[in-house]
Amino acid sequence: MTPFFEEAFNPFKTEGFEIGRVALEHKRVYRILTGQGELLGEVAGKMRFEAGGREDFPAVGDWVVIQPRYEEGKATIHAILPRQSKFSRKAAGVATEEQIVAANVDTLFIVMALNQDYNIRRLERYLIMAWESGANPVVVLNKADLCEDLNEKLAEVEAAAIGVPIHVISALDAESAEILRSYCTGGRTAALVGSSGVGKSTITNQLIGSDYLKTQEAREDDDRGRHTTTYRELIALNTGGCLIDTPGMRELQLWSAEDGFQGTFEDVETLARSCRFTDCRHQNEPGCAINAALEEGSLRADRYESYQKLQKELAFLARKEDKKAQSDEKAKWKQITKSMRKFKK
């Protein structure tokens, strides 16, 4: 536990509470790591009542305030300590709701296989979400032994992941994966994200030093994975750090990405600020730096198209969030009015 969380926990400590960290969550039942072993936890009734949405419940990686019952192997969760980072996506489905994939992560390993899974547009989405989370992204290009055009793909990734560390590995080779171990020391937490079949479970086993997680071969017809990992789990490593393994994500919808968007597309944003007119729409205006870069080839057309597409997606999400906020506020005041009427009677 870092000084940040120690300070946040101090007010609760004087009241007799203890602290733990969420290692696994399943249907609002939590496995909690404590200094005296693992406990099964549930949130207190008051905390459940006051929760406004999924983000108000503990997520894997959260430090939580607990009232333990060691003799039963159980605990009641009374509060979540402030999160230093959170990797979120829009929850699957039509509802506009945040799903926290992992909390309090220092390094986010974005794993992409150098076979048919390779998708630079998907990488851009992961980078946006990583920068927005507050964690430091690291791109891990796995299955290098299966790639015939490594230099070409590496150059493309370097152009998309500007300033981000990139490691090319073959996860089945323990020495190749060893370079990732340095990110999981000294109390730091790393998390693995990526599609199914990219090798996250194999990397996890290499970092643990045992076959902790089962692994499966990707399907032969399309190299896609089979969802070896079915839940998020925090694992304590003998390096003094922690690792969070996550299931492959079929849907990768953005949640909030103002800072993350700028960090991922810093090259495009810099060009846009160089346009002659501040309100340039990058169409036929004179002195447009975007169009000039596209014409000379210093900005790839597919990257700019991705930039525009993601901008529209974020704008649409913002409109939906605003409508949801208005609806929630209306429902809250309706309930308050109803309660006041009952009180007057």
Q: Tell me the binding residues for GTP.
A: 142-145, 194-202
Pairwise CA distance, residues 66 & 77, whole Å: 5
Return d(Cα 138, Cα 60) in angstroms, integer. 20
Phi, psi at 244, each rounded to 5°: -110, 120
Please provide the distance, in angstroms rounded to a whole number, between the alpha carbons at the two ends of the chain: 51
Per the annotation, binding residues for Zn(2+) are 275, 280, 282, 288
Report how far residue 4's alpha carbon sits from residue 2's, in angstroms, rounded to the nearest whole number. 5
Residue with tokens 């406990």: 39
Could you tell me which residues are beta bridge partners of residue 74?
A: 40, 69
**Separation CA 64–CA 61 (nearest Å):** 9
CB 282 within 8 A of CB 268: no
Binding residue positions = 142-145, 194-202, 275, 280, 282, 288
Phi, psi of 67, deg, nearest 5: -115, 100
